[in-house]
């Protein structure tokens, strides 16, 4: 039993990290009042771009940065649509998902199932050879994700910029009167969201799978949407949500790996069943206790009055 638990805890970070990174991105966007349903597409282009960059002869860290850039680029289109041109945010998010998946399908199809040398585990580096198994089997992107968690929390709750961002998400008209540039803040938040979602996608291909497979995001972007609701739009809550959702998926695969008679399709369904449960609970507790930004999804025009 102890060996099973250790094996599960060892693989858990690789399942939780992409959810954590993308979840932090959504917190930034939605705290600024922009409803973002596009992480599935942003993660997909991040995963594909990271993989293709490494396959093109570049080192894995360059691939990770390329994935971040790809996610940011896709989010720029989404941000311009919803912030500058004030498109309906739900439809724009869904269109961005379709665009991201379409791009990966067209460009990435010729590179499917081509393995490459991804990020090394800590135990494979010279200075990390003596680390405990639980730590040594991770890549450097795990501590990077934890640093980003602290950074997002610090920016949101300990800086003037974070205060303005949260004010825009709660009451953009009042923030505007107070001197905040609502459009600039929202666009910056969306770009930050795209960068983190692109990093989450690059983690899947460059740090975890070391291969590009069409559809490898596999619905995780939609899970992230529910995860952020579960977290009540707080970075610390995103960490616990990522461990819960990622741990569920990791546990299912570990049970199958040790030969437990556990239905494959039931195991694959569990994270999404959990997503439905979270969304149902969230719908029942709407209001001040939900933590939802008051102006989330609100299309702000300067002459609007609350």
DSSP codes joined into one string, 92-157: HHHHHHHHHHHHHHHHHGGGTT-----PPPGGGSGGGTTS-HHHHTS-THHHHHHHHHHHHHHHHH
Number of domains in the chain: 1
| Residues sharing a CB contact under 8 Å with residue 272, sequence separation 6 or more, in sequence order | 219, 222, 223
Please check whether residue 119 lies inside any domain of the structure.
no
Give ∠ CA 158-159-163 in degrees, rounded to 5: 95
Neighbours of 127 (CB within 10 A): 7
Q: Is 20 exposed, middle or buried (0-12, 13-18, 19+ CB in 10 A)?
A: buried
Please check whether residue 243 lies inside any domain of the structure.
yes
* Binned average pLDDT, 10 residues per bin, the chain of 306 residues: 79 94 97 97 97 96 98 98 95 97 93 93 72 83 96 97 96 93 97 98 96 92 92 94 88 72 68 77 66 91 61
Q: What is the pLDDT of residue 221?
A: 94
Q: What is the pLDDT of residue 16?
A: 95
CA distances to 72, 81, 126, 182, 183 from 42, rounded to whole Å, are 8, 15, 34, 23, 21
Please check whether residue 194 lies inside any domain of the structure.
yes
Please check whether residue 117 lies inside any domain of the structure.
no
88 is in which domain, residue-wise? Answer: 2-112+136-290
Please check whether residue 121 lies inside any domain of the structure.
no
Please check whether residue 298 lies inside any domain of the structure.
no
Instruction: Find, among 45, 11, 1, 78, the residue nearest to 200 by Cα.
Output: 45
Please check whether residue 305 lies inside any domain of the structure.
no
d(CA 195, CA 42): 9
Q: What is the pLDDT of residue 129?
A: 62
d(CA 115, CA 135): 24
Q: Which residue has the tokens 């494979």?
A: 124
Q: 223 with 231: CB under 8 angstroms?
A: no
Q: What is the pLDDT of residue 159?
A: 97
Classify 243 as helix, strand or coil: helix
| CATH number for the domain that contains residue 9 | 1.10.3470
Please check whether residue 252 lies inside any domain of the structure.
yes
């Amino acid at each position: 039993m102890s060996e099973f638990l250790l094996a599960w805890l060892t693989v858990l970070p690789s399942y939780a990290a992409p959810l954590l990174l993308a979840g932090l991105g959504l917190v930034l966007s939605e705290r600024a009042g922009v409803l973002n349903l596009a992480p599935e597409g942003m993660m997909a282009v991040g995963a594909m771009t990271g993989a293709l960059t490494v396959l093109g002869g570049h080192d894995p860290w360059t691939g990770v940065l390329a994935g971040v850039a790809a996610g940011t680029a896709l989010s720029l289109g989404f941000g311009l649509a919803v912030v500058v041109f004030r498109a309906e945010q739900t439809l724009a998010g869904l269109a961005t998902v379709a665009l991201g998946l379409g791009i990966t399908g067209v460009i990435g199809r010729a590179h499917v199932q081509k393995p490459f040398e991804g990020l090394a585990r800590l135990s494979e580096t010279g200075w990390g050879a003596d680390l405990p198994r639980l730590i040594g089997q991770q890549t450097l992107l795990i501590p990077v994700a934890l640093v980003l968690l602290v950074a997002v929390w610090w920016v949101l709750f300990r800086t003037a910029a974070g205060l303005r961002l949260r004010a825009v998400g709660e009451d953009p008209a009042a923030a505007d009167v107070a001197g905040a540039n609502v459009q600039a803040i929202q666009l910056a938040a969306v770009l930050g969201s795209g960068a983190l979602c692109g990093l989450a996608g690059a983690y899947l291909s460059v740090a975890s799978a070391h291969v590009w497979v069409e559809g490898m995001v596999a619905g995780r972007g939609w899970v992230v949407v529910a995860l952020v609701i579960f977290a009540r739009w707080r970075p610390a809550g995103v960490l616990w949500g990522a461990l819960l959702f990622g741990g569920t998926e990791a546990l299912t695969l570990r049970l199958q790996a040790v030969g437990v008679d556990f239905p494959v399709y039931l195991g694959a369904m569990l994270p999404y069943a959990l997503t439905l449960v979270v969304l149902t609970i969230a719908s029942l507790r709407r209001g001040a206790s939900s933590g939802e930004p008051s102006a989330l999804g609100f299309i702000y025009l300067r002459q609007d009055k609350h």
